[in-house]
A = this chain, B = another copy of it.
């Protein structure tokens, strides 16, 4: 690495997702690590990832990581459950900077906080089919019972803006029915869009089920990771731009969505052709 150790701590963190969902992770990083700079990439030209194959998700993630490395990032956050499930461990050996996904932090806190050992996981077809949450939870709690349910309509319902709509409630009731019978005390919202449905999920499951938001835990995990590598930004060099956003399509739409959920106003999302 050409940068000195002193310089590297001022480098941005690279964050990526298939589209806008990862902004819930970016939001937590902004809140919990306010000194950190960030380069965010949303793959809006190829979104969604949740219904696509492992091989394709690895290929797309590799392209994005190369792009972020070109931007001089000091660490990478895979802010997408499907990419964390399929690509993270595959790509880690190719990197000389630390990388963290959303699955491990979410799985760890669920394993540590469940009382009855019964944990539900909702996510995309890819994430749930990969069984990665089950595997990771059992590394921390071998006797945990993990029940997964793919909820493919949640992302389009969020993107339609029907967050608390009666139709969304009905769809959620259908998807969550199996959890109510099985007596889980913890539910992992295993897709970055889902925290936007928190109050709908809470209304169906009641107050006794703990809803785990991996975005929150991932920001905590990133903090620990940067500390471990002596990469924490101490707030110097404030003249550098703090946040940069890149997308592979529909930059204006992305910007509008980002400005509806982020704690700060973003001025621009830049369009790039990621496959080239």
Contact = CB atoms under 8 A, between A and B. Distances in A.
Interface stretch (A138-146, A149-157, A238-246): A149-157
**Most interface-central of A46, A159, A174 (chain B CB within 10 A):** A46
A45 interface: yes
A171 interface: yes
A44 B49 CA distance: 11
Given A45-B46, A152-B159, A157-B153, A52 B167 contact: no
A52 B160 contact: no
B56 A52 contact: no
Interface residues of A, number: 26
A91 interface: no
A170 interface: yes
Contacts of A157: 153
A275 B248 CA distance: 14
A33 B55 CA distance: 36
A185 interface: no
A249 interface: yes
Interface string A31-61: 0000000000000111100011101100100
B159 A52 contact: no
A160 B152 contact: yes
A155 to B, nearest CB: 8
A250 interface: yes
A52 B171 CA distance: 25
Interface in A190-218: none
Contact of A174 (B56, B153, B167, B250): B167
Contacts of A250: 51-53, 56
A249 B152 contact: no
A275 B56 CA distance: 12
A46 B47 CA distance: 7
Contacts of A273: 59
Contacts of A52: 44-45, 249-250
29 contacts: A44-B52, A45-B46, A45-B52, A45-B56, A46-B46, A47-B51, A51-B159, A51-B250, A52-B249, A52-B250, A53-B250, A55-B249, A56-B248, A56-B249, A56-B250, A59-B273, A152-B156, A152-B159, A152-B160, A153-B156, A153-B157, A153-B160, A155-B156, A167-B167, A167-B170, A167-B171, A167-B174, A170-B170, A275-B275
Interface of A: 44-47, 51-53, 55-56, 59, 152-153, 155-157, 159-160, 167, 170-171, 174, 248-250, 273, 275
